[in-house]
Amino acid sequence: MNAAPMPEPDICDRARLAKDARFDGLFFIAVRSTGIYCRPICPAPQPKRQNIHYYPTAAAAAADGYRPCLRCRPELSPSAWKPAGEATVERALTLIANGALQDESIETLAQRVGVSDRQLRRVFLERTGATPIAVHTTRRLLLAKQLLTETSLPVTQVALAAGFNSLRRFNAAFLAGCGMPPTAIRRTAAAAKTPHLSLRLAYRPPFDFATMLAFLAKRSIPGIERIGADSYERVIGPAHASTWIRVTAAADKAELKLDVSDTDPRAIPDIVRRVRHVFDLDADLAAVHAVFAQDAQLAQAIERRPGLRVPGGWDGFELAVRAVLGQQVSVAGATTLARRLVDAYGERREPAREGLDRVFPTPQALAEAPLETIGLPKSRASTLRALAAAAIDGRIDFSPGQRLDEFVERFVALPGIGPWTAQYVAMRALGHPDAFPAGDLVLQQVLGHPGRLSEKATDARSQAWRPWRAYSVLHLWYLSNDRAEKAA
SS3 readout for 399-468? CCCCCHHHHHHHHHCCCCCCHHHHHHHHHHCCCCCCCCCCCCHHHHHHHHCCCCCCHHHHHHHHHHHCCC
Question: Mean pLDDT score of the chain, rounded to an integer?
Answer: 92
Going by pLDDT thresholds of 50, 70 and 90, the confidence category of residue 401 is: confident
- pLDDT beyond 50 at 1: no
pLDDT score at 84: 47
Q: What is the pLDDT of residue 22?
A: 86
- β-pairing, 67-68 vs 36-38, is parallel
Q: Using CA atoms, how far apart are residues 258 and 488, in angstroms rounded to an integer?
A: 39
What is the distance between the alpha carbons of residues 485 and 488, in angstroms, rounded to a whole number? 5
pLDDT tens-digit map of 456-475: 999 999 999 999 999 999 99
Q: Is 42 a catalytic residue?
A: no
User: Has residue 485 got a pLDDT over 90?
Assistant: no
Query: Is pLDDT above 70 for 386?
Result: yes
Q: CB of 313 within 8 A of CB of 278?
A: yes
Q: DSSP letter at 30?
A: E
Q: What is the pLDDT of residues 299-354, one digit of tens each?
A: 999 999 999 999 999 999 999 999 999 998 899 999 999 999 999 999 888 776 88
Whole-number Å distance between alpha carbons of 347 and 261: 19
pLDDT for the residue numbered 4? 44
Q: Which of 280, 284, 434, 440 is catalytic?
A: 440
pLDDT at 470: 97
Distance CA 176, CA 173 (A): 5
Question: Quick one: pLDDT at residue 71?
Answer: 94
Between the alpha carbon of residue 62 and those of residues 56, 68, 98, 201, the distances in Å are: 11, 8, 21, 21
Residue 437 CA: distances (Å) to CA of 216, 452, 459, 471: 19, 15, 8, 12
- Cβ atoms of 420 and 439 within 8 Å: the answer is yes
Q: Is the dihedral of CA 69, 75, 77, 83 positive or negative?
A: positive
Neighbours of 476 (CB within 10 A): 22
pLDDT(80) > 60: no
- pLDDT tens digit sequence for 39-52: 999 999 999 999 99
DSSP assignment of 50-90, as one string?
A: GGEEEESSHHHHHHTT-EE-TTT-GGG-TTTT--SS-HHHH
Among candidates 326, 371, 379, which has minimal Cα distance to 345? 371
DSSP class of 367 = T
The catalytic position among 12, 38, 69, 72 is: 38
Query: What residues form DSSP beta bridges with 243?
Result: 236
Q: What would the mean pLDDT of 217-227 be, rounded to a whole number? A: 94
Asked about 24 being catalytic, the answer comes back as no
Q: What is the arithmetic mean of pLDDT over 439-454?
A: 95
Mean pLDDT of 137-149: 95
The dihedral sign for the CA sequence 205, 211, 213, 216: negative
pTM of the model: 0.92
d(CA 367, CA 287): 42
CA distance 465 to 488: 30
The answer to whether 128 touches 89, Cβ cutoff 8 Å, is yes
Spatial neighbors of 103 by CB under 8 A, at least 6 apart, are none
* E strand or H helix at 109: helix 106-113
Summarize pLDDT for 178-216 with one digit per residue, the tens.
999 999 987 766 555 565 789 999 999 999 999 999 999
Q: Are 72 and 79 in contact (CB under 8 A)?
A: no
pLDDT of residue 313: 96
| Amino acid 247: pLDDT | 98
Question: Strand, coil or helix: what is 286?
Answer: helix
Whole-angstrom distance, CA of residue 138 vs CA of residue 157: 18
Question: CA-CA distance, 473 to 465, in Å (whole number)?
Answer: 11
Q: Residue 90: pLDDT above 60?
A: yes
How far is the C-alpha of 339 from the C-alpha of 201, rounded, in Å? 30
pLDDT at residue number 354: 83
* pLDDT exceeds 50 at position 129: yes
* Measured distance CA(424)–CA(334) in Å, rounded: 14
